Structure 1
Amino acid sequence: MSTVRVDHLTTSGTFSLDGGTWEVDNNVWIVGDEDEALVVDAAHDADAIARALGGRRLTAIVCTHAHDDHIDAAPALAEATGAPVLLHPDDRPLWDLTHPGRAPDGELADGRTLTVAGTGLTVLHTPGHAPGAVCLYAPALGTVFTGDTLFAGGPGATGRSFSHFPTIIDSIRDRLLTLPPETVVRTGHGESTTIGAEAPHLQEWIDRGH
């Protein structure tokens, strides 16, 4: 049995919402073995992601949420590979801002387990940054893919449409900080961290957010 690994590439583009546009670098995560893989957040560059797959069969394109910088390359990658695009239905209004007329192929639900190369990734619905934001917890890999819910240094932004600060704090406290402290947090932007490194700062974030 071939070894499951996590590959990482950084893609660059823009994020637009509420009339503003910002330059951003996004983390794209590829989980799989030599034969098949799953992509977490098809950001900006479908060709670069396809090259990183290296001919492996793509089983799914999982969207941690539907801000345009995390989904802009998803339809093109799906077309190139035949893989379904999966999104939590609560983020459909955000998705439709970027891809009107092209629905996601499947829905993510809290507690659903996606399996790639014999390894399970459990969907954790973690609203706050976006209504349908999810994280993917892979206990066998000792890691959680948090999108823009939790970063090294605190919660994702909640200052724009469809976001809510108390909700993201509840999601982080109840769904993420309960994971084993050694769990590696692989984020949507920037450096990785661990649950144990972030957990002591919850009250600081709450105080900062008010």
Structure 2
Amino acid sequence: LDWELPLYAHGLTVPEAPPTRVDRELADGDALGFGDGAYVVHAPGHTDGSIAVHLPQHGVLFTGDCVAAVGPLMLGVFNVDRGRAVESMRRLAGLAPSLACFGHGDPLTADTAPALAKAAAETPA
């Protein structure tokens, strides 16, 4: 987005956070053992290790910071790799959930799959 670029142009920096202890490394497709089948969906772009969690039996998708619902559905902001973030958003939209929960914004509970597909299609790489 145009408003993201000026933040970096004006020298905005974010201090590096200390490492976090890893209890369990996850990979794309890993089963998480809850929700009648919750699966890891690797969704890099916001960060290299970004994930979503998909519960296909229930049609539920937790997008993390890949997608935001602050106003219209949109690509999450402050991505380390915009191109990969857009690819991840499109991949998540392809899961066609009936309910989506976002890292930022209210859950989407109606017309979710078409709304995600539209937002992903309209997001420039």
- Shorter-normalised TM-score: what interval? 0.7 to 0.9
Identical columns (%): 33
Aligned partner of 2:29 in structure 1 is 111
Aligned partner of 1:187 in structure 2 is 102
Structure 1 residue 103 displacement after superposition: 1.9
After TM superposition, the runs of 4+ consecutive aligned structure 1 residues lying more than 3 A away are none
**TM-score scaled to structure 1, two decimals?**
0.46
Aligned partner of 2:117 in structure 1 is 199
Matched, 1:121 2:38: yes
**TM-score scaled to structure 2, two decimals?**
0.74
Instruction: Answer with 1 or 2: which has the greater Rg.
Output: 1
Aligned partner of 2:51 in structure 1 is 134
Correspondence list, 1:12-23, <5 A = 18-19=14-15
Contact 1:128–1:158 under 8 Å retained in 2:
no
Mapped to 2, the partners of 1:198 and 1:177 lie a distance apart of 5
Count residues in correspondence: 107
RMSD (CA atoms): 2.1
Q: Which runs of 5+ in 2 are unaligned?
A: 1-12
Structure 1 residues 188 and 201: CA distance shift in structure 2, 3 A: closer
Between structures 1 and 2, the one with greater helix share: 1
Contact 2:55–2:61 under 8 Å retained in 1:
yes
Structure 1 residue 158 displacement after superposition: 3.0
Structure 1 residue 167 displacement after superposition: 0.7
Mapped to 2, the partners of 1:106 and 1:167 lie a distance apart of 24
Matched, 1:170 2:87: yes
Q: Which runs of 5+ in 1 are unaligned?
A: 1-16, 20-93
Contact 2:93–2:120 under 8 Å retained in 1:
no
Classify the secondary structure of the residue corresponding to 2:37: strand
List per-residue Cα deviations over 1:52-111 (Å, max 9, x = no partner). Answer: xxxxxxxxxxxxxxxxxxxxxxxxxxxxxxxxxxxxxxxxxx7xx24x4x5211101111
Aligned partner of 2:8 in structure 1 is none
Contact 1:125–1:134 under 8 Å retained in 2:
yes
Correspondence list, 1:51-130, <5 A = 97-98=17-18, 100=19, 103-116=21-34, 119-130=36-47
